[in-house]
Amino acid sequence: QYVRLIERYAGTLNLTAITGGEDLADELVLEALRLLDLGEFSHGASVADLGSGNGSPVVPLAACCPGARFSAIESRQRRAAFIATVKAALDLENLDVLGYRVEQVAGRQPHAFDCAMSRAFARPPEMIQQALALLKPEGELRGFAGADTSELELAVAAWGLRDLRVIGYDHEAGRRHVWRARLPGAGLHL
């Protein structure tokens, strides 16, 4: 149903350039679930998705991990409304839609999340910088990277994060990676 809603609204909301249900499912659902290769989200974990856009990865993960609490942070109101429509259609009670900029959410809910993740919010240095104000001291970050992970590795080192784990996979557009890193005080395993 999520893929059908993307297809229905893609043109008017500029949600994705991908066309075709099978390609959409592969790119937006199956690829989102690759974040689970880094470990499941524990029951009660609070997870923020930065720049949720079309709802990937937050919608597929909320559907697959009902014990965790997800927050889609999306400042573009039409896209936030789309994610709210998806939430209602899929009855995702564990998903909140926050129609604000990441900085605004951090100001209202500082250090409130166990995990921050992103698919395409920003390059790793900027994503990490934005996420730090959202994360609890023992929090972790998860995200996606292309074939070259050197920028990610440098950003993780520059911000003093630890336990970087990178898993590569083949994609029709080339090699891609999912990654996870923990804040220096992290002891919690999501």
Q: Which of 96-105, 146-155, 179-188 has the lowest mean pLDDT?
A: 179-188
Q: Cβ distance 69 to 94 under 8 Å? A: yes
Q: Is the pLDDT of residue 181 over 80?
A: yes
Confidence of residue 71 (pLDDT cuts 50, 70, 90): very high
pLDDT for the residue numbered 31: 87
Comparing C-alpha atoms, which of 111, 115, 131, 106 is closest to residue 188? 115
Q: Is the pLDDT of residue 154 over 80?
A: yes
Q: What is the DSSP string of 97-164?
A: EE-S-HHHHHHHSTT-EEEEEESSSS-HHHHHHHHHTTEEEEEEEEEEE-S--HHHHHHHHHTT-EEE
- Check whether 80 has a pLDDT greater than 70: yes
Q: What are the tokens at 120? A: 């395409």
CB contact burial 31-70 (16+ within 10 A = b; e otherwise): bbbbbbebeebeeebbbbbbbbbbbbbbbbbbbebeebbb
- 144 has pLDDT over 50: yes
* Whether residue 73 has pLDDT greater than 50: yes
- pLDDT tens digits, one per residue of 25-69: 677 788 899 999 999 999 999 999 999 988 999 999 999 999 999
pLDDT over 50 (residue 91): yes
pLDDT band at 190 (very low <50, low <70, confident <90, very high): very low
Domains of the chain: 2-182 (3.40.50.150)
pLDDT at 189: 43
Q: Per the structure block, which two tokens stand in for 179? A: 């990654």
Q: What is the pTM of this model?
A: 0.89
> Which structure tokens are listed for 99?
């129609």
Tell me the pLDDT of the chain averaged across its residues: 89
Q: How confident is the model at residue 21 (pLDDT cuts 50, 70, 90)?
A: low
The dihedral built from the CA positions of residue 72, 31, 184 and 45, taken in this order, carries a sign that is: positive
